[in-house]
Amino acid sequence: MRTLEETTQEVLDLAAKHFQLPAGSLAPGDDFFKKLGIDSLQTLEMLSRLENHFGIELPDYEVQGVSDFKTLAERIQSRL
Amino acid sequence: MLDLSKYQSIGEALRDALDQFSNEVCLMEADREREKERLTYREFKERAHPLSKALQDAGFCAGSRASILMTNQSKWLISAYAIFFAGGVLVPLDYKLTPEEQWQLLKHSNATVLVTEYPIWRQLSVSAGRGAATNVQTVLVTEAPANADLAGAQRWEEFRDAEEPVFIPRKRSDIACIVYSSGTGGRPKGCMMTHENYLEQCVALTAIYPFWPGVRYLSILPTNHAIDFMVGFFGPFTCGATVVHLRTLRPEYVLEAFPKYKITYVSLVPLVLKNLQKGLQARFDELAPGKRKIFNALVGVNKALTKSRPRLGISRRLLKQVHEAFGGELRAIIVGGAFTEPQTLQFFYDLGIPVANGYGLTEAGTAITVNDLKPFRADTVGKPLPGMEVRIVNPTADGVGEVALRSKTMMAGYLNEPELTAETIVNGWLLTGDLGRFDGAGHLQLTGRKKNMIVTEEGKNIYPEDIETVFESLPVKEFCVFAANYIWPKRSMVGEKLVLVIHLEPGQQFTDELRVDINARNNRLLNYKRVHGVVLLNDDFPRTASLKIKRHDLAERLARLDSGAAILPL
């Protein structure tokens, strides 16, 4: 079982890879809309990638209103 | 389709539709690749009536208000019908707002009943805003886990009475819905929509885009929005058509739904439509040179053959693969909520997929103009719908002025806001705050906005006043939020941004510390509500005797600045 820190790091690494940013350029507290310059649709695409990676289903309501990686990682962690 | 001229209310029309089309499928609901539910009109009635009776048992009666706060799903529509059957007023709320904003609107609406889903209730029930909305007496929660703490709510699934409810008639002039067009800040704008507004709008819209049994509408836009309420509920139901709901709105599941459910119509916001365009274009670009050449030639033939009107049969044969990807039955994409760029509309039309673009606002009862496709025009928002009187107020030499409307679809007014209503509806004409002109063919072209607001590509209306509270106590002399296009008008309705105008204290500098503070506050707002830049002004803001900012005067002063240089990025 991953720790929350490990999950958070994997979320950051995957997001950086998906949006072609240098590894380590994202931080847990970053607002992904702002940092990645993405819209709500691109966020949904990122969520699908994360679901595949972690092997979970993340219902839309779980990520409603979430805009930072830390909270997103917590929501993922609760479903692992 | 029912003859809606004979009906007095939404509830009455739906009641007859459920009997007339009893064996047709009215709802399909899927979650990812799994189909969760498929209901006929008869089964829909069997679900709704026990709920309506239980509401009546709880004292719900003519004019009582009930709010629905849910993502798009069968239970949304079942609950809405149960409310209308019992003579109630529906208050549909946006599930994307924050819990505090939702409680604020619940309080403002004076709803006594709230129907919501468990994940939303989990957040709402612990929100500080709950304490103020004492008007909400009954909370019904769907799909709560067996051992869940309901925090004073009741299970929707158990809130029923097997006895037949009594149908409560309503008049055409009675309020059917209170729809919030915006204003989660200081001044909520609750549009009071009458039964007549919906009955008339439905007749006007279905005259151009008809529904019938067998038509399948994919409901993606939130049903609390006026558009989806009309074309994803009332319109299809009065014609015996089917509404398809998806519980997971990821692009891959939405795309799968088209062929799987043989979708006939779908409504999208411009952002999603543009994204769809990008995805298709990328696939076309990947074609081998030979195939690409053939494809381009076929698109050229289709363009020539559909110049005067759409010819779905021909387009589907010519561009078979494209149409099959959409299920082969798609007749039109309805786009709404915000302005769509002409090139996007043209892209789809050239593929033989008409995009029904139009123009409207909640206050007008959804659509005012719609492209009638005779012929297709990407550069306008179409002609006024039947029954809509549209005029341009105080036009300039080139015919541009404020768009005004008079029709039976116009709201009765804003809830608890007689002054705001009087400013908006003047001598029977609804002043839209949008600027436009009619061309020689009677098509409306929008050219900008007169009002201080923006509409995002996701169809969200943002009023600057509503987000200013987040900047309260900012360590500056004074501040004000504006729509940049209100200060520096541009003849476009896309890419609109908000700016924060700041007047610093004497000797104060715009430091990194201040920028960090602004960013931190900005981040507390939902992403689409954030300001995109700062404008520094060295003068005192003009104010009224009661010290309110004279926004119009301030905007005029700011307009003298060069927007490119004046807006500092955050």
Q: Which tokens go with B175?
A: 């309020």
CB B231 within 8 A of CB B217: yes
Q: Which has more pLDDT, B260 or B186?
A: B260
Which pLDDT band, with edges at 50, 70 and 90, does B92 fall under? very high
**Comparison of pLDDT for B4 and A23, the residue scoring more:** B4
Read off the pLDDT of each residue in B456-467 and give the average, rounded to a whole number: 79
Model confidence band, residue A76 (pLDDT cutoffs 50, 70, 90): very high
CB contact under 8 A, A48 and B117: no
**Are both B269-448 and B462-569 of the same fold?**
no
φ, ψ dihedrals at B512, nearest 5°? -60, -35
Residues in chain A closer than 8 A to B95 (CB atoms): 64
- Residue B149: predicted pLDDT: 93
Cβ contact B215:B128 at 8 Å: no
* Domain definitions of chain B by residue range: 4-261, 269-448, 462-569
> CB of A6 within 8 A of CB of A75?
no
Hey, of A61, A66, A67, which one would you mutate to test binding to chain B, going by the most B CBs within 10 A of its CB? Answer: A61
Q: What is the pLDDT of residues B12-43, one digit of tens each?
A: 999 999 999 999 999 999 998 899 999 999 99
Query: Chain-centre distance of CA B22, in angstroms?
Result: 29
Confidence check: pLDDT of B473 > 90? no
User: Which band of pLDDT confidence, cut at 50, 70 and 90, is reported for residue B338?
Assistant: confident
Alpha-carbon distance of B285 to B226, in angstroms, equals: 37
Q: Does A37 touch chain B (CB under 8 A)?
A: no
Q: Is the separation of the CB atoms in B4 and B51 below 8 Å?
A: no
CATH 3.40.50.980 fits B4-261, yes or no: yes
Instruction: State residue B183's pLDDT score.
Output: 53
B270-291, pLDDT tens digit by residue? 888 888 898 899 999 999 999 9
Give every CB contact of residue B392 below 8 A, 6+ residues apart in sequence.
B399, B400, B401, B402, B403, B404, B436, B437, B438
Asked if residue A12 has pLDDT above 60, the reply is yes
Percent with pLDDT over 90 in chain B: 73
Complete domains list, chain A, with CATH: 4-77 (1.10.1200.10)
pLDDT of B102 strictly over 60: yes
Which of 7-36 (A) contact B at CB < 8 A?
31, 33-34
Nearest CA-CA distance, residue B322 and chain A, Å: 22
Among A41, A57, A62, the residue with its CB nearest the CB of B251 is A41
The CA-CA-CA angle for residues A51, A53, A56, to 5°, reads 40
Instruction: Residue B523: list chain A partners with CB under 8 A.
Output: 31, 34, 67
The pLDDT confidence band at residue B185, using thresholds 50, 70 and 90, is low
Q: How close is the nearest chain B Cα to the Cα of A50, in Å?
A: 13
Interchain CB contact of B272 with A (< 8 Å) = yes
B527 has a chain A CB within 8 A of its CB:
yes
- What DSSP element (H or E) covers B255? helix B251-261
Distance from CA of A79 to the nearest CA of B (A): 14
Each residue's pLDDT tens digit, B145-182? 999 999 999 999 999 999 999 999 999 999 999 999 87
From chain B, the residues in CB contact with A27 under 8 A are none
Distance CA B148, CA B386 (A): 50
A62: pLDDT strictly greater than 90 = no
Hey, what amino acid is at A39? D
Residue B155: its pLDDT value, please? 98
- Say which CATH architecture domain B462-569 belongs to: 2-Layer Sandwich (3.30)
The beta-carbon neighbor of A39 closest among B95, B98, B271 is B271
Q: Which of residues 81-120 of B touch A (CB under 8 A)?
A: 95-96, 98, 117, 119-120
Put simply, the chain B residues between 438 and 477 with a CB less than 8 A from any chain A CB are 457-458
Check residue B213 and give left, alpha or beta (phi > 0: left; psi -120 to 50: alpha).
Answer: beta
- CATH number for the domain formed by residue range(s) B269-448: 3.40.50.12780
- Output DSSP code: residue B165: P
| pLDDT classification of B452: cutoffs 50, 70, 90 | confident
pLDDT tens digits for range B206-265: 998 899 999 999 999 999 999 999 999 999 999 999 999 999 888 888 989 999 999 999
Is any Cβ of chain A less than 8 angstroms from the Cβ of B275? yes
Cβ B142 vs Cβ B114: under 8 Å: no
Do the chains contact at B119 and A61, CB–CB below 8 Å? yes
With bands split at pLDDT 50, 70 and 90, how would you rate the model's confidence at A14? Answer: very high
